[in-house]
Structure 1
């Protein structure tokens, strides 16, 4: 049973970290490490298990990831083609297609190298595999915890519902992606009023882009006003250009109205966890909820969010990547 001690300790650390603040990326890493150590512990116990149970564990720990990788590649390629057809060929819309092609290129490279028998080539590919494995681990940590974070619910009343802006259609109209955020915010507002709570202030946050005719916050406030939200319950923050500015400028407005405020921030579900990390850094007192997004849009958007999170933690990630490359170079040199 000692094999399970690391998993238990990591899970305890995960629970304590989540209790301290749900919005930390270390929660995602601790959860991923918990699953890895649990898998290794299960593999260590195989010889003590009945034959059928041992086969099930082997299939789960080894075969499922291998088959899942191929299935993921197929899914990403298909989704990428859908994105190109519906959204165009911008670099952001090609992310899922490129990720799927990358998976199959990696599989093809491993098959090709397996027939060569060159120590140098083996070392290079081995290093590449370790780098891909590291990035994949971080991505799965991000994906798994982002899913869990997206399951949180608003408990009790809030003083503000902050809705983050995005681009406007024709420079002045609210697009479906942004309307989803506003509708989610309106639902939170209506639910709080329906249960007898004080009506929260609806704070729309978003500045004016170079191709927009008015600030996003004003267009969003107009959308809410047309759907029954009273003028006295609306506030606008119309200076921000980035998510970080959304959070900081909105925080300042909320503090000015109520130093003891409690809020909930609304964005799309693929953006919720990264927005939550930004909210924590900005000192916003509240969690982030996600609104629905079109299914075909979600994979590319999630990959884009992961790339941003990976780069936000670039000091650690690049240091670990450098260590992997150094280790691969030393191993290759030793094999010659």
Structure 2
């Protein structure tokens, strides 16, 4: 009876935490702290469901054990997939650091375990410490990636519904004045959002300056595409000075506020970039929500890894806070090693 009561209390606490997360998410999804709450919630929920099914369904526990045993194989497949994607990016997008993120991550999946085994094989206190540092750093990095990937997926699948006064489309590189498939995905998403409005008075703001290898500002090329798709001239506000995401947001907001002093902005970008755009808009104090357009599947892994690095850089305080348990574990190991006479 006491064990049943503990289980019921645990389930009730889990429900309360889910309600708290959903309430905060609907209030404002542009907070990376919610991602830090979501991952443990999902893991604990999965564990609770597995325990329940293991007790009710014969053989379910064996299935879970089999999956756990296959974890090394899953890691190998994951690493191989990253390397394959990195090579694909190399061939299709060229040799640039930003295009090789998945290749580098895939190589590390195989190299780090080998390096850790070699360090343990040395058998000295410093090699043990280095091996453990590698292990903890790898686990922390993997947790961060899963945390951001999970929250980005939730952010995309469950957008907070609202009305807006303008859709701001973040620019991307154009070729000979033509929009690329990447940029077309953003523009088509803005057209979809415009069609969802009950009234067709949504301002549409293509934003992007002219790069050194572009014939004209990105916003001008984007505006031409919008006109070809039936958007009226009165709806379009061109912002053609911005050079990065922060300028996209600042300059576009200033342009919109000349016409609409109040009201929410819809930020439209690629799916892999939507979460970071939303987080940036909150840091700037803008009343906005971010949406992502479709991106080619092969392009997403490297692009999202790049976004993870950028989000970690932009939220250093949260990263330090999340790293504390790993740091404490490392410090504990060093103390044990010292006390043991290594």
* Length-normalised TM-score, structure 2: 0.85
| Paired position in structure 2 for 1:206 | 208
| Paired position in structure 2 for 1:186 | 191
Q: Distance in 1 between matches of 2:42 and 2:288?
A: 29
Pairing 1:152–2:158 present: yes
1:17 to 14, 24, 44: 24
TM-superposed deviation, 1:301:
0.2
| Paired position in structure 2 for 1:37 | 44
| Paired position in structure 1 for 2:79 | 73
**Conserved? CA contact 1:267–1:288, under 8 Å:** yes
Q: Distance in 1 between matches of 2:145 and 2:42?
A: 14
Tell me the secondary structure at the aligned position of residue 288 of structure 1.
strand
1:53 to 57, 60, 70: 60
Question: RMSD between aligned alpha carbons?
Answer: 2.8
| Paired position in structure 1 for 2:305 | 303
Cα deviation code 1:271-302 (max 9, x no counterpart): 01111111222233232111111111110001
* Length-normalised TM-score, structure 1: 0.87
1:84 to 67, 79, 90: 90
| Distance verdict in 2 for CA 1:111–1:3, change over 3 Å | farther
5+ long unaligned stretches in structure 1:
none
1:130 to 129, 133, 136: 136
Q: Distance in 1 between matches of 2:26 and 2:159?
A: 15
Cα deviation code 1:67-116 (max 9, x no counterpart): 33222101001111111111111111111011000001123234445655
| Distance verdict in 2 for CA 1:97–1:184, change over 3 Å | same
| Paired position in structure 2 for 1:224 | 226
Count of residues in Structure 1 that have an aligned counterpart in Structure 2 = 331
**Conserved? CA contact 2:194–2:200, under 8 Å:** no
| Paired position in structure 1 for 2:147 | 141
TM-superposed deviation, 1:178:
1.0
TM-superposed deviation, 1:55:
2.4
Cα deviation code 1:231-253 (max 9, x no counterpart): 11111122222212211222222
5+ long unaligned stretches in structure 2:
1-6
**Conserved? CA contact 1:251–1:283, under 8 Å:** no
Tell me the secondary structure at the aligned position of residue 158 of structure 2.
coil
| Paired position in structure 2 for 1:98 | 104
| Distance verdict in 2 for CA 1:208–1:35, change over 3 Å | same
Q: Distance in 2 between matches of 1:216 and 1:301?
A: 20
TM-superposed deviation, 1:47:
9.4
| Distance verdict in 2 for CA 1:59–1:5, change over 3 Å | farther
**Conserved? CA contact 2:185–2:293, under 8 Å:** yes
1:274 to 269, 273, 276: 276
**Conserved? CA contact 1:28–1:145, under 8 Å:** yes
